[in-house]
Structure 1
Amino acid sequence: MKQDLVSIITPAYKAAAYVGDTIASALAQSYGEWEMLIADDCSPDDTRAVVAQWAERDPRVRLLAMTRNGGPAAARNAALAQAQGRWIAFLDSDDLWLPAKLERSLAHAQANGAALVFTGFRRISFDGSRTGDYIGVPRTLTYRQLLGNTAIATSTVLIDRAQCGEVWMKPVFYDDFACWLEILKRGFVAHGLDEDLMRYRVMPRSVSRNKKRSAQEVWKAYRQVEGLGPLTSAWHFTSYALHALRKYRQF
């Protein structure tokens, strides 16, 4: 692993309209020691062409062309397999970082000896015309606390592989949530940096906005991935739902 390098993991599918802005937000970072691995999951639009154009401009941007559509977990794992950095950051193909995101996250991780750092953020509408309220984060989260919390947004996460080892996504619906739980289950604590450093794009008809489907998948994560009993699952699910309700009352 290259000690100062941040490997940015970006799965992409039908992202031609937004991925250029996402890449531009990485290029605008005040911390410049990074590589961006964009795994295109067989998009039917011009996503690969857009990414290839940006890669020609800056060699830190790399296109990984998946040979078959496998979903976000497979795309993230393809990028993780190529990652050379000690630090792993996640940036989804329709989200944006503010310029100080990597610098501030790294400083927070190093100051706290943290294996996993996450930050605050705001939502934006799909066309960028509307910006929502600031969504803050708790100072820390343990494994048990995260089971009942929605605080970790994927595109805010920074992971130190020197501490927690290799990072992989499980082939489940909420692969990111399962990954954070797996790391914290080893005894690590996630450290929240309560600063506005990311923009989460709310897409029309996105699965994450389908509350019934989301609830079903969170329950499956408790029962099938984490192996929790029904009563324990119900306890954590109630907390999770209350946190989600408070979050989604905001835009």
Structure 2
Amino acid sequence: MTAERPTVSIVTANYNGARHLAAAVRSVLAQTLRSWELIVVDDCSTDDSLAVIEAAAGGDPRVRVIVQARNGGPAAARNRALAEARGRWIAVFDSDDLMAPERLAKLVRRGEADRADVVVDNLCVFTDGSDEPWKPFLAGRDYGQPRWISLADYIGSAKMYSSRPGLGYLKPLFFGEVMQGVRYREDLKIGEDYELVLRLLARGCRMRLEPEPLYRYRKHSGSISHRMRREHIEQMLAADAALEAEIAAHGPEVRRAQAARRKSLESAIAYDRVIERLKAKDLAGGVAASLAKPDIWPLLTMPVAARVKRLGERLKPHPTAAAA
């Protein structure tokens, strides 16, 4: 570890991520900004993650590995990394993702020029093992230029089953001073990034969007974010409730956004209960549960709608056939 304070501390939680770790570490080593430290906290992996990190780092002293004494989940691992971080800025980076080489330099430049407390960039989403083209997560005029993201914007994007992209998926760069004493809620297994940024925005921190898709977000079957269960939603509701007073103090637009998010989470739980009963062949129970919560009726059509959409894609003429 060098004595000089790095510009950016990159904090990474890892659990059995050996398959993608080498590529993730190499994308950090390739950054055009050279003043950084990478703190990887391994959450008691049972694969060869530690050997992969050591090989990929190639002895670079800027890469540090901390091994947890017990498995505590991604929030606990990130908190351990935050406690060790020395950088002027702190970047959150997942062990299965990648960064464009110029990402850290551009985000630091954006944050310092605009005096932001939090900087986020667009995501470039790709599917592991697929030949599908990479695509930006945020699209449209609203995200084509640098902009401030308000508390109402942030909460409004976080409704369940919304067509609007969730800003909580963006990976933040935090100004180190605003993170003094701020830590992740370790009882959250999904949505911990969203909740931490929500707290900062509710306390007056300013978040700036860099429109370039510099973060490479990998979609794959092992991703935690693709395995949401009812208890995860209940945890998110509890976390939101703990911030209710702070959020409500920001006025009617924020309160409306929060009420819509809460309603969507409650509907998601009700929907899960209906599906659970239908899967158990309890038709009467499923119908009764759906009648008690009529706002979930549109959700019950989702599996059918998805199948129709896939069928439509298969029935589309092949480009070569259309040209003929």
Query: Match for residue 119 of structure 1?
Result: 121
Query: Match for residue 234 of structure 1?
Result: 259
The verdict on how the C-alpha distance between 1:207 and 1:12 changes in structure 2, with shifts beyond 3 A counting, is: closer
Query: Match for residue 202 of structure 1?
Result: 219
Match of 2:103 among 90, 101, 104: 101
Which structure is higher in helix share?
2
Unaligned runs of 5+ in 2: 158-165, 249-254, 269-301, 303-308, 310-324
Corresponding residue pairs, total: 241
Match of 1:145 among 153, 158, 183: 153
Match of 2:206 among 162, 167, 189: 189
Q: For 1:25 and 1:199, locate their aligned partners in 2 and report how far apart those are by CA, in whole Å.
A: 10
Looking at both structures, which has the greater relative contact order when contacts are Cα pairs under 8 Å and sequence separation is at least 6?
1
Query: Match for residue 165 of structure 1?
Result: 180
Q: How far 1:183 moved relative to its partner?
A: 1.2
Q: Is the 8 A contact 2:120 2:209 kept in 1?
A: yes
| Alignment map for 1:127-142 (pairs within 5 Å) | 127=129, 129-136=131-138, 138=143, 139-142=147-150
Amino acid at match of 1:204: S
Query: Match for residue 237 of structure 2?
Result: 219
Amino acid at match of 2:129: D
Larger C-alpha radius of gyration, 1 or 2? 2
The verdict on how the C-alpha distance between 1:163 and 1:81 changes in structure 2, with shifts beyond 3 A counting, is: closer
The verdict on how the C-alpha distance between 1:212 and 1:11 changes in structure 2, with shifts beyond 3 A counting, is: closer
Q: How far 1:56 moved relative to its partner?
A: 4.2
Unaligned runs of 5+ in 1: none
Amino acid at match of 1:14: N
| Identity fraction in percent | 32
**2:184 is the alignment partner of 1:176:** no
TM-score using structure 2 length: 0.66
**Alignment RMSD:** 2.9
Which structure is higher in strand share?
1
Amino acid at match of 2:239: A
Q: How far 1:53 moved relative to its partner?
A: 2.4
Query: Match for residue 54 of structure 1?
Result: 56
Amino acid at match of 2:259: A
Q: For 2:28 and 2:129, locate their aligned partners in 1 and report how far apart those are by CA, in whole Å.
A: 19
The verdict on how the C-alpha distance between 1:231 and 1:187 changes in structure 2, with shifts beyond 3 A counting, is: closer
Q: How far 1:126 moved relative to its partner?
A: 2.2
Query: Match for residue 91 of structure 1?
Result: 93
**Other structure's SS at 1:31 match:** coil
Q: Deviations over 1:154-194 (max 9, x none)?
A: 5x311112345344111123221111011112111211111
Query: Match for residue 318 of structure 2?
Result: none
**Other structure's SS at 2:89 match:** strand
The verdict on how the C-alpha distance between 1:4 and 1:40 changes in structure 2, with shifts beyond 3 A counting, is: closer
TM-score using structure 1 length: 0.84
Q: Is the 8 A contact 2:127 2:220 kept in 1?
A: yes
**Other structure's SS at 1:64 match:** strand
Q: Which moved more, 1:201-210 or 1:90-99?
A: 201-210
Q: For 1:128 and 1:57, locate their aligned partners in 2 and report how far apart those are by CA, in whole Å.
A: 32
